[in-house]
């Protein structure tokens, strides 16, 4: 018998029920899947002739969890707990056959089965806290019954995923097999009933457990979801199953509608939505990649490819530079091994697949060559011309640049349609963001290939028009200027950083300047000095620190003094700030945290609106993705454009007017922002458009 609904199929083979969840792309638990699965389970429950049930997912995933796209809509019956309950209560033994992603609600379903068989490389876990919620269908109660409360608290609190092999070692999976469905059909015959919900809760009064819980709660103190989830796991050691599950459900429902959870869902979908509407590009043709330039950026890019399983050839100019590049590459890889992010075996494979050479002929088999030499147009043109002399006609050519004009470089590439800018962020093997910048002649196929390649690196590609600063640095530059106005007007760097870090930024702007090196922005300011609007307010404090040789962390002192363990404003910065305030006759005034944050956010949203109007950014959500994944904007706040809609655009416009006054009247409220504020429409109402900016 074969009973087929749209998203869940029931096949009866003899006395075995085979249930297939089939809802592309990742079998998420949408309204339809829950409804169909519940109907199938009810059918199975109503039959007396079945001996066991196997549940598995079609294609590559088991189930990736609740459907994130539907979580903002009104809930429809049956809820996931009802489906899980129906599975849990079946009288016949049940088995989950797991391949690929078994996450969130997917794992909750698998744990409602009596046993689990998985492939060694399956991914299992409860990552709900990354979405600002706790598991909502028994996950916090079943997981500790299988792996023990300590491991469960760590897994759920830290949203740690396990491979199938790790899950077997921890007790979550019963058996590993490369073909779990076939194995389930073989072993299911001998399986008895073993409901996880009936297993006793494991009381744990040990000091080790208390310490784990305290450490986890301290580490995740900024995440209400994580601390709540940890408390729920603790409850599993003390409170009966039904009562604890009811607590979990109540916490889930409250958190699901919180501002944080909404913003995190938005960020999740925004990251996957960059490049919407683009055709898929066949990655099979990319077996080898070349990188010209083995400096920090070049080796970081080569490592990013190595981590993605792509062989790389790095070209350097002489043997000494090759040796330095090899050391740099190996050192960066060793750090990843030290942190447990890469195994020793894998690191040897990556080293084996990475060649560093002075021989440009080695670029011949490469499907893509990325130029990553010094950020200077003449030097880059020379490298690009060298690349095209040595590659095949169908290979792609990319330049890694953070501000150069792509059209000016495109001339060096014989066929500019295959040329594109890739703006990696340092360290390139760690940072998620890559801005993809086409020149005027770049073909759509090249852009689609670049998007696919960056995704293959597990990074987030965002398309940007070819305009100075692209998306991110353009916004960051406006942010820097306005934070310096606040500084000169009275808010010290540690006040500004503290306010923005309390809002959720990974680092405040002055700490970021110190980390990236004050000399970099200084060089840029000098380069732009001739074209700067003379009416623009110019804060000289950073220039004076640079003139004194204080470039930030790399010199031990910048805005802050790094000689101790604590971050302290440097004595020189404090003195220069006072002198500059006095020289300009500024009477220092206090700023509240709210004022500082409102100023920073309005400046970012205003610049973002200008980028949209100019056609540099394709969509509001792309801008948010850039700021979250490249500039430490708090993900839990959704990005500056998302935050502006929450604040209300009229207030953002008022704040921007104040910012412009502070800047000496130079600049404008982006007309697009003002128009939306006047009509009452949100930024989110703007449609996605292909970026079109020319210089």
- Judged by beta carbon, residue 103 or residue 652, the one nearer ligand 3H9 is 103
Q: Could you tell me which residues come within 8 angstroms of residue 401 by beta carbon, excluding any fewer than 6 positions away?
A: 375, 380, 409, 421, 423, 437
CB of 246 to ligand 3H9, least distance (A): 14
8 A C-beta contact, residue 597 and residue 500: yes
- Judged by beta carbon, residue 80 or residue 610, the one nearer ligand 3H9 is 80
CB of 445 to ligand 3H9, least distance (A): 20
Q: Cα torsion at 173, 174, 175, 178 (round to 10°)? A: -30
Choose among 471, 524, 422, 494: nearest CA to 633: 471
A 10 A CB-CB count for 569 gives 17
The 8 Å CB, 24+ separation contacts for 202-209 are 202/144, 202/145, 202/148, 202/149, 202/236, 202/237, 203/237, 203/238, 204/148, 204/149, 204/150, 204/237, 208/150, 209/149, 209/150, 209/153, 209/237
| Selected range binding ligand 3H9 among 135-143, 180-188, 360-368, 683-691, rule: CB under 6 A | 135-143
Distance between start and end Cα atoms, the chain: 64
Instruction: Tell whether residue 546 is a contact of ligand 3H9 (CB under 6 A).
Output: no
- Judged by beta carbon, residue 72 or residue 668, the one nearer ligand 3H9 is 72
Is 108 part of the annotated catalytic residue set? yes
Instruction: Tell whether residue 367 is a contact of ligand 3H9 (CB under 6 A).
Output: no
How would you label 538-562 residue by residue, b for 16+ Cβ within 10 Å and e otherwise? ebebbbbbbeeebbbbebebbbbbb
Instruction: Tell whether residue 103 is a contact of ligand 3H9 (CB under 6 A).
Output: yes
| Selected range binding ligand 3H9 among 102-110, 376-384, 553-561, 602-610, rule: CB under 6 A | 102-110
Quick one: three-class SS letters along 563-601? CCCCCEECHHHHHHHHHHHHHCCCCCCCCCHHHHHHHHH
CB of 271 to ligand 3H9, least distance (A): 8
Q: How large is the greatest C-alpha to C-alpha distance in the chain, in angstroms?
A: 91
Residues 23-62: x/- map of binding to ligand 3H9 (CB under 6 A)? --xx-x----------------------------------
Is 52 in a helix, a strand, or coil? strand
Instruction: Map the footprint of ligand 3H9 across residues 172-231, applying CB under 6 A.
Output: none
Choose among 633, 607, 609: nearest CA to 620: 609
Give residue number: closest CB to ligand 3H9: 104
Residues 249-288: x/- map of binding to ligand 3H9 (CB under 6 A)? -----------------------x----------------
Choose among 485, 604, 469, 591: nearest CA to 538: 485
Binder of ligand 3H9 out of 65, 188, 634, 663 (CB under 6 A): 65
Instruction: Tell whether residue 144 is a contact of ligand 3H9 (CB under 6 A).
Output: no
- Judged by beta carbon, residue 62 or residue 513, the one nearer ligand 3H9 is 62
- Judged by beta carbon, residue 17 or residue 28, the one nearer ligand 3H9 is 28
CB of 67 to ligand 3H9, least distance (A): 4
CB of 85 to ligand 3H9, least distance (A): 12
Place of tokens 């459907």: 67
Instruction: Map the footprint of ligand 3H9 across residues 420-439, applying CB under 6 A.
Output: none
Phi-psi region of 609 (alpha: psi -120 to 50; beta: other; left: phi over 0): alpha
Q: Out of 128, 154, 484, 488, which one is annotated catalytic?
A: 128
| Selected range binding ligand 3H9 among 14-22, 64-72, 310-318, 500-508, rule: CB under 6 A | 64-72
Instruction: Tell whether residue 108 is a contact of ligand 3H9 (CB under 6 A).
Output: yes
The pair of structure tokens assigned to 235 is: 């409850």
Is 82 part of the annotated catalytic residue set? no
d(CA 371, CA 446): 16
- Judged by beta carbon, residue 127 or residue 438, the one nearer ligand 3H9 is 127
The pair of structure tokens assigned to 225 is: 């979801």
Helix, strand, coil percent content, the chain, rounded in steps of 5: 50, 15, 35
- Judged by beta carbon, residue 80 or residue 302, the one nearer ligand 3H9 is 80
Sequence-ordered strand ranges (E) for 76-201? 94-98, 101-103, 115-118, 123-125, 162-163, 175-176
Instruction: Tell whether residue 139 is a contact of ligand 3H9 (CB under 6 A).
Output: yes
CA 510 to chain centre: 23
Instruction: Map the footprint of ligand 3H9 across residues 593-632, applying CB under 6 A.
Output: none
- Judged by beta carbon, residue 253 or residue 440, the one nearer ligand 3H9 is 253
Binder of ligand 3H9 out of 78, 93, 132, 136 (CB under 6 A): 136
Q: Out of 76, 108, 207, 668, which one is annotated catalytic?
A: 108
Binder of ligand 3H9 out of 6, 69, 526, 528 (CB under 6 A): 69
d(CA 371, CA 180): 45
Instruction: Tell whether residue 128 is a contact of ligand 3H9 (CB under 6 A).
Output: yes
8 A C-beta contact, residue 462 and residue 626: yes
Give the residue numbers annotated as catalytic, written as ranges. Answer: 108, 128
| Residues of this chain that bind ligand 3H9 (CB under 6 A) | 25-26, 28, 64-69, 80, 101, 103-105, 108, 127-128, 131, 135-137, 139, 272
């Amino acid at each position: 018998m074969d009973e087929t609904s749209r998203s869940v199929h029931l096949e009866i083979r003899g006395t075995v029920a085979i249930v297939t969840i089939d809802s592309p792309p990742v079998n998420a638990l949408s309204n339809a899947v829950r409804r169909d699965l519940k109907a199938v389970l009810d059918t199975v429950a109503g039959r007396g002739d079945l001996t066991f049930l196997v549940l598995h997912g079609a294609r590559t995933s088991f189930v990736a969890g609740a459907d994130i796209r539907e979580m903002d809509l009104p809930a429809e019956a049956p809820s996931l707990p009802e489906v899980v309950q129906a599975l849990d209560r079946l009288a016949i033994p049940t088995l989950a056959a797991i391949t690929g992603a078994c996450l969130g609600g997917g794992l909750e379903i698998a744990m409602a089965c009596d046993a689990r068989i998985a492939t060694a490389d399956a991914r299992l876990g409860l990552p709900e806290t990354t979405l600002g919620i706790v598991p909502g269908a028994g996950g916090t109660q079943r997981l500790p019954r299988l792996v023990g409360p300590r491991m469960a608290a760590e897994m759920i609190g830290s949203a740690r995923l396990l491979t199938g092999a790790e899950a077997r070692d921890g007790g979550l999976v019963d058996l590993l097999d490369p073909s779990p469905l076939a194995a389930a059909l073989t072993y299911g015959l001998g399986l008895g009933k073993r409901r996880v919900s009936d297993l006793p809760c494991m009381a744990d009064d040990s000091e080790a457990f208390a310490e784990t819980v305290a450490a986890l709660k301290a580490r995740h103190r900024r995440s209400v979801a994580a601390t709540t989830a940890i408390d729920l796991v603790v409850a599993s050691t003390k409170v009966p199953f039904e009562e604890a599950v009811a607590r979990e459900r109540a916490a889930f429902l409250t958190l699901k509608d919180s501002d944080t959870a909404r913003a995190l869902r938005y960020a999740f979908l925004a990251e996957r939505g960059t490049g919407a509407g683009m055709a898929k590009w066949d990655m099979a043709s990319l077996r080898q990649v070349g990188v010209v330039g083995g400096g920090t950026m070049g080796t970081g890019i080569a490592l990013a490819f190595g981590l993605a399983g792509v062989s790389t050839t790095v070209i350097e100019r002489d043997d000494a530079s090759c040796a330095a590049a090899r050391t740099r590459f190996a050192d960066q890889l060793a750090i990843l091994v030290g942190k447990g992010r890469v195994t020793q075996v894998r690191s040897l494979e990556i080293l084996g697949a990475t060649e560093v050479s002075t021989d440009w002929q080695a670029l011949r088999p490469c499907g893509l060559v990325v130029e990553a030499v010094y950020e200077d147009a003449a030097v880059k043109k020379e490298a690009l011309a060298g690349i095209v002399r040595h590659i095949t006609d169908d290979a792609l050519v990319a330049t890694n640049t953070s501000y150069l004009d792509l059209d000016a470089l495109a001339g060096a590439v014989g066929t500019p349609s295959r040329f594109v800018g890739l703006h990696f962020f340092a360290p390139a093997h760690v940072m998620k963001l890559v801005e993809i910048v086409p020149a005027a002649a770049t073909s759509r196929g090249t852009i689609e290939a670049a998007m696919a390649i960056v995704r293959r690196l597990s990074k987030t590609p965002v398309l940007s028009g070819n305009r100075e600063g692209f998306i991110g640095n353009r916004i960051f530059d406006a942010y820097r200027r306005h934070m310096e106005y606040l500084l000169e007007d009275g808010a010290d760097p540690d006040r500004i950083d503290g306010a923005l870090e309390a809002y959720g930024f990974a680092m405040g702007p002055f700490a970021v300047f110190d980390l990236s090196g004050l000399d970099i922005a200084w060089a840029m300011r000098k380069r732009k000095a001739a074209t700067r609007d003379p009416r623009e307010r110019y804060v000289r404090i950073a220039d004076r620190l640079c003139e004194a040789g204080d470039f930030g962390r790399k010199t031990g002192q910048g805005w802050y003094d790094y000689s101790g363990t604590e971050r302290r404003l440097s004595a020189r910065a404090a003195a220069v700030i006072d002198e500059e305030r006095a020289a300009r006759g500024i009477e220092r005034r206090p700023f509240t945290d709210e004022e500082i944050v409102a100023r920073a956010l309005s400046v970012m949203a205003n610049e973002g609106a200008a980028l949209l109007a100019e056609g540099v950014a394709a969509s509001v959500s792309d801008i948010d993705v850039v700021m979250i994944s490249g500039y430490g904007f708090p993900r839990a706040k959704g990005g500056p454009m998302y935050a502006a809609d929450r604040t209300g655009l009229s207030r953002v416009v008022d704040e921007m007017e104040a910012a412009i006054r502070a800047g000496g009247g130079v600049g404008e409220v982006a007309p697009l922002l003002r128009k939306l504020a006047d009509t009452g429409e949100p930024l989110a109402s703007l449609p996605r458009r292909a970026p079109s900016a020319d210089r």
